[in-house]
Structure 1
Amino acid sequence: MEKNIPSISESEWEIMNVLWDKAPQTANDIIYSLQESTDWKPKTIRTLLDRLVQKNVVGVNKSLRVYTFYPLYTQDECQRAETESFIKRIYGGTLKSMLVQFIQEDTLSNDDINELRFILNKKPKKQ
């Protein structure tokens, strides 16, 4: 069964990456982590965190004195949902057209080509 994962903005991805790296974390933990790599103010980070909670992408444990936050979806689930959304928006839902464009335009090394062949050969054919 496919989970219906809400769309996540680029800024929200930054917060999710912090939580996927280690969870649960307090808002202050997340702010501390992000202030090392961004110039965001604590209020901005708290707003993004609240948005993720409202979207049901991040859960909150309210049983402790200080609330802690944790992801409700795995990084893989969110990446897959984002990829499907991208393919629908840009390539009309066809993975093949996206792959063909990337393969034709990108300079792939022999190792890359061999790895792609290996992956395709391993994949079972649909009846």
Structure 2
Amino acid sequence: MKKIPQISEAEFEVMKIIWDYHPISTNEIIEHLSKTKTWSPKTIQTMMIRLEKKGAVKHKKESRLYIYSPIVRKDDYIDMESRNFLNRFYCGTIQSMVTSFIENDKLSEKDIKELKELLAQKDKRG
């Protein structure tokens, strides 16, 4: 498997737009992000250039437009970040994380019910 690049939180916001709407032009990315961020178009373009240098996205030029597509799959990136999170804070195990949440009363009754349902579904599938 190809190495997945490290992506900053801001770059991740750009990636979410690219993952959801690819192929997508620079102007469309800016338009989507302007709904939730106060970043300048130049800042967004800089992040897109960084993402391309990191190997997370690629572009092709159509007329005067740059059209972006992801190289890194969203599922692969989220899986890597989830594993990094578990390794960093919970010794690499989901059990340690859930135990921490249970011991610190961070799980509501609804959360517990949903976890039980997920585990039951997983058990049925094997």
Shorter-chain TM-score tier: 0.7 to 0.9
Q: Do the aligned residues in 2 keep the contact of 1:57 with 1:72 (CA within 8 Å)?
A: yes
Residue of structure 2 in register with 1:112 after alignment: 111
Percent of pairs with identical residues: 38
Residue of structure 2 in register with 1:99 after alignment: 98
**How far does residue 58 in structure 1 lie from its aligned partner after superposition?**
0.9
CA distance in 2, matches of 1:38, 1:72: 24
Q: How does 1:66-85 map to 2 (within 5 A)?
A: 66-85=65-84
1:71-112: per-residue Cα shift (whole Å, max 9, x none)? 123322221111111111222322221121123321322x43
Residue of structure 1 in register with 2:17 after alignment: 18
Taking structure 1 as the reference length, what is the TM-score of the superposition?
0.82
CA distance in 1, matches of 2:11, 2:50: 8
CA distance in 1, matches of 2:8, 2:44: 13
SS at match of 1:11: helix
**How far does residue 3 in structure 1 lie from its aligned partner after superposition?**
4.8
Q: Do the aligned residues in 2 keep the contact of 1:7 with 1:82 (CA within 8 Å)?
A: no
Q: How does 1:2-81 map to 2 (within 5 A)?
A: 3-62=2-61, 64-65=62-63, 66-81=65-80
Q: Unaligned 5+ residue runs, structure 2?
A: none
Structure 1 vs Structure 2 CA RMSD = 1.8
Deviates more, 1:69-78 or 1:23-32: 69-78
Residue of structure 2 in register with 1:123 after alignment: 122
Q: Unaligned 5+ residue runs, structure 1?
A: none
**Alpha-carbon distance change, 3 to 99 in structure 1, aligned in 2, over 3 angstroms:** farther
Deviates more, 1:41-50 or 1:97-106: 97-106
CA distance in 2, matches of 1:114, 1:107: 10
